[in-house]
């Protein structure tokens, strides 16, 4: 299992970092991304803690942990600055909380996140073909979400990615241990979005290549 979109109690998740990592290990995770909700105010506080937890865990070579952030409800015109701030602060990767239909995300966030060079656009809702095309050109991965509410447009995201060649990735958006899916269940979610077996394997291959590249760069 490879999942780069999870949350701890550093934002609105349930678990401490150590327990979060252990729960992921028990669920069969090989690569775990911790990407707590962040903005200009809390990013300097939470990211160093995730980086520290990841560094200690990665000494043991049991679960490969990456330290990311999910820029959440940052205004579109400020996403480039927030993305740069995250990278300068040492984030392994940057997720942007996309225009899910379940929450009042500012219109234009999807386009701004892609233009800012985020690594992953989470639950991008009714993403336009133009935005998906830009994501394909800039190498921004679009998420198939495992989270209730955010998953409502998974089928649209899958279809739009197929039309434009945008890369897909699975993200559980887990906030509790019960929301950490094993690989077989994650594949069922993706199949429910209309993806073929080959497309599902390709999405996990995207995630593995990305994670390995980030870890090797350290």
Q: Where are the domains of the chain?
A: 2-216
Return d(Cα 124, Cα 110) in angstroms, integer.
7
What fold characterizes domain 2-216?
Answer: TIM Barrel (3.20.20)
pLDDT of residue 61: 87
Q: Are 21 and 3 in contact (CB under 8 A)?
A: no
Of 74, 108, 107, 106, the closest CA to residue 95 belongs to 74
Per-residue HEC secondary structure of 27-82 comes to CCCCEEEEEEEECCCCHHHHHHHHHHHHHHHHCCCCCEEEEEEEECCCCHHHHHHH
Q: What is the pLDDT of residue 217?
A: 82
Sheet containing strand 64-71, strands side by side: 2-6, 31-38, 64-71, 93-97, 120-122, 141-145, 168-171
Query: In this predicted structure, what is the pLDDT of residue 121?
Result: 98
Q: Would you say 101 and 125 are in contact if contact means Cβ atoms under 8 Å apart?
A: yes
| 74 Cβ contact list (under 8 Å, min separation 6) | 39, 40, 82, 96
Q: What is the pLDDT of residue 201?
A: 98
Other Cβ atoms within 10 Å of 14 Cβ, number? 16
pTM above the 0.85 mark?
yes
- pLDDT tens across the length of the chain (218 residues): 999 999 999 999 999 999 999 999 999 999 999 999 999 999 999 999 999 999 999 999 899 999 999 999 999 999 999 999 999 999 999 999 999 999 999 999 999 999 999 999 999 999 999 999 999 999 999 999 999 999 999 999 999 999 999 999 999 999 999 999 999 999 999 999 999 999 999 999 999 999 999 999 86
């Amino acid at each position: 299992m490879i999942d780069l979109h999870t949350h701890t109690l550093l934002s609105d998740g349930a678990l401490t970092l150590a327990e979060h990592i252990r729960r992921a290990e028990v669920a069969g995770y090989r690569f775990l991304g911790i990407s707590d909700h962040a903005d200009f105010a809390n990013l300097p506080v939470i990211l160093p803690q995730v980086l520290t937890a990841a560094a200690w865990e990665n000494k043991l070579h049991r679960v490969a942990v990456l330290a990311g952030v999910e820029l959440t409800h940052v205004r579109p015109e400020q996403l480039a600055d927030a993305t740069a701030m995250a990278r300068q602060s040492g984030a392994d990767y940057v997720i942007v909380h996309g225009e899910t239909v379940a929450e009042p995300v500012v219109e234009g966030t999807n386009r701004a996140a892609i233009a800012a060079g985020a690594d992953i656009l989470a639950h991008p809702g009714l993403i336009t073909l133009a935005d998906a095309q830009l994501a394909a050109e800039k190498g921004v991965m679009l998420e198939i979400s495992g989270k209730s509410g955010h998953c409502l447009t998974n089928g649209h995201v899958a279809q739009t990615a197929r039309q434009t060649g945008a890369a897909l990735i699975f993200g559980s958006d887990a906030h509790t241990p019960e929301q950490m899916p094993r690989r077989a269940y994650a594949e069922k979610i993706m199949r429910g979005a209309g993806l073929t077996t080959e497309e599902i394997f390709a999405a996990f291959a995207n995630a593995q290549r990305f994670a390995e590249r980030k870890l090797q760069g350290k």
